[in-house]
Amino acid sequence: MAQKPMLPELLKAHGVSRRGFLKYCASLTSLMALPPMLAPKVAHALENAPRPSVIWLSFQECTGCTEAITRSSAPTIEDLIFNAISLDYHHTLQAASGHAAEAAREAAMKDHWGEYLLIVDGSIPVDNPEYSCIAGISNLDMLKETAEGAAAIVAVGTCAAFGGIPHAFPNPTGAQAVGDIITDKPIINVPGCPPIPIVMTSVLAHFLTFGLPELDDLGRPKAFFGETIHDRCYRRPFYDKGLFAEAFDDEGAREGWCLYKLGCKGPTTRSVCATVKWNDGTSFPIQSGHPCLGCTEPDFWDNGGFYKPLSAPAGNYRQLGLAAAAGGVALGVAGGALSKATKSRAAKAHETVDAHDLEKKS
């Protein structure tokens, strides 16, 4: 069963004062877009939440999500939240391997059936399940089996949430998102490649304190995926002024102008990158001079090219345009010749024309 709360002891061990905890709760409440008067409730809930059992499954992924969440600089309280859970299975982080590791997963499932939180990173090969197996168990089977006893699932990273890079055309493994396979459990999608660490931990904190957060149509917590990057971008004034970088090394780029023309997907990408930023608030892609790739959106890999402006066409218009030009010319010549022939025939036959004939459409 769930063990007794760990957070107060952990805080004490890290030398964090109660005041520091209050500050953290206030900021966390703000970040979770909850009313500020709920901060004491967040504090109370965090202190008393039982330490949940968490099983973390990694499928077709690059471990970037795990790297991101474990590299958030210590000793922040995000880190402590992560420590406040009982991570019973994570094959990258745990010391055990092989059968011993699988035994740990099975034991955690058995002990906390119906109560544990399942975190998944990576997509699942459905067409060719044998492309990704752990201990001889296909990802598909392991997900179905583990999801059955989970209280909820957090799909961390764009691969787990939307299929991500493995799902990109031509998708050789038939990769699918967690939500495409599991339909009978609450699923929180936390996309990003990788997601911002504090977003991952805040979602965990929300789940521990108030349960499921409010989600958008794509299953993403509204608090973190409610606004586009463009809306909160510090380069937005340059967009409004019509000042754009046209190349990565031009004066506009050096002056820090808007990256729209270099293919920035900020206007269609929902995430808090521009406000929360990365590496403990150091920077985010646009701040370091690179357009947003749109990594929190489904199929971001196939959405018309990273460096093509959002307003530019992304299809085969060049070939089609040439064909259209040739076709138009040919049809025009033919139509003109036909009219000319009609005209000269009419002239020869001395046909009369009055105003009504001229109005007629041929």
Partner 1 sequence: MPAGQDGIGAASALEELRSRISTGNARPVLAEILAALATLLDTGQETVIDLGAFPFAPGDERLLDEVLGTGEVQATLDVLGKSHVQETGIPGIWRIDHFDQRGESLSRFVEITFIPEILKTQRADAEAGLARLTDRLAEFDGRAH
Partner 2 sequence: MTNNQYFDLLMWARTTGFDIALTIMVGGILLRVIEIVVLGRKKDFAKAKGSPVTQGIKTIFSRSVPRKGTMKEAPVTYIGGYIFHIGFFVAFLFLGAHIALIKDLIGLSWPDFNKAVIETAVALAIVAAAALAYTRFTDPVRRRLTGWSDWFVLIVSVLPLITGYIAVNKVFGVDGTLWMAIHILSAELLMVSFPFTKLMHAVTFAMARYYNGSIQGRKGAES
Residues pairing with 138 in the sheet = 133
CA distance 152 to 121: 14
Which of partner 2, partner 1, none does residue 323 bind to, with CB < 5 to 8 Å depending on kind? Answer: partner 2
Q: Which is nearer to partner 1, 47 or 141 (CB)?
A: 47
The binder of partner 2 chosen from 335, 346, 351, 353 (CB under 8 A): 335
The binder of partner 2 chosen from 93, 107, 135, 314 (CB under 8 A): 314
Q: Which two tokens stand for residue 131?
A: 């492309």
Which of partner 2, partner 1, none does residue 308 bind to, with CB < 5 to 8 Å depending on kind? Answer: partner 2
In the complex, the smallest distance separating the C-beta of residue 189 from partner 1, rounded to whole angstroms, is 23
Q: Is 312 in the site for partner 2 (CB under 8 A)?
A: yes
**Neighbouring C-beta atoms of residue 148, cutoff 10 Å:** 14
Q: Strand order in 187-190's β-sheet?
A: 86-90, 53-58, 116-121, 150-156, 187-190
The binder of partner 2 chosen from 321, 345, 353, 357 (CB under 8 A): 321
Q: Which is nearer to partner 2, 166 or 309 (CB)?
A: 309
Measure CA 346 to chain center: 68
Q: In the window 74-93, what residues touch partner 2 (CB under 8 A)?
A: none
- SS3 letters across 141-204: HHHHHHHHCEEEEEEEHHHHHHCCHHHCCCCCCCEECHHHHCCCCCEEEECCCCCCHHHHHHHH
The single-letter code of the amino acid at 79 is D
In the complex, the smallest distance separating the C-beta of residue 258 from partner 2, rounded to whole angstroms, is 7
CA distance 184 to 296: 24
Closest alpha carbon to 298 in 222, 218, 212: 218
Q: Which is nearer to partner 1, 15 or 114 (CB)?
A: 15
Distances (CA, A) of 92 to 66, 97, 260, 343: 8, 9, 38, 83
Q: Which is nearer to partner 2, 74 or 320 (CB)?
A: 320
DSSP H helical ranges for 89-138: 98-111
Q: Which is nearer to partner 1, 18 or 144 (CB)?
A: 18
The single-letter code of the amino acid at 73 is S
- The DSSP output letter for 336 is H
Total residues at interface with partner 2 (CB under 8 A)? 56
Which of partner 1, partner 2, none does residue 12 bind to, with CB < 5 to 8 Å depending on kind? Answer: partner 1
Strand 53-58 relative to strand 86-90, pairing: parallel
Q: Which is nearer to partner 1, 279 or 344 (CB)?
A: 279
Task: List residues near partner 1 by CB under 8 A.
Answer: 12, 16-20, 22-24, 26-27, 29-31, 33, 35-37, 39, 73, 76-77, 234, 237-238, 241, 246, 250-252, 254-257, 277, 280-282
Q: In the window 210-239, what residues touch partner 2 (CB under 8 A)?
A: 218-219, 228, 230, 239
Q: Is 346 in the site for partner 2 (CB under 8 A)?
A: no
In the complex, the smallest distance separating the C-beta of residue 156 from partner 1, rounded to whole angstroms, is 23
Q: Is 327 in the site for partner 2 (CB under 8 A)?
A: yes
Cβ atoms of 215 and 221 closer than 8 Å: yes
Q: In the window 251-290, what residues touch partner 2 (CB under 8 A)?
A: 258, 260-261, 267-268
DSSP secondary structure letters along 200-221: HHHHHHHHHHHSSPPB-TTS-B
Q: Which is nearer to partner 1, 97 or 282 (CB)?
A: 282
Q: Is 299 in the site for partner 2 (CB under 8 A)?
A: yes
Q: Please name the residue that has the structure tokens 């076709």.
A: 327
The binder of partner 2 chosen from 130, 247, 328, 357 (CB under 8 A): 328
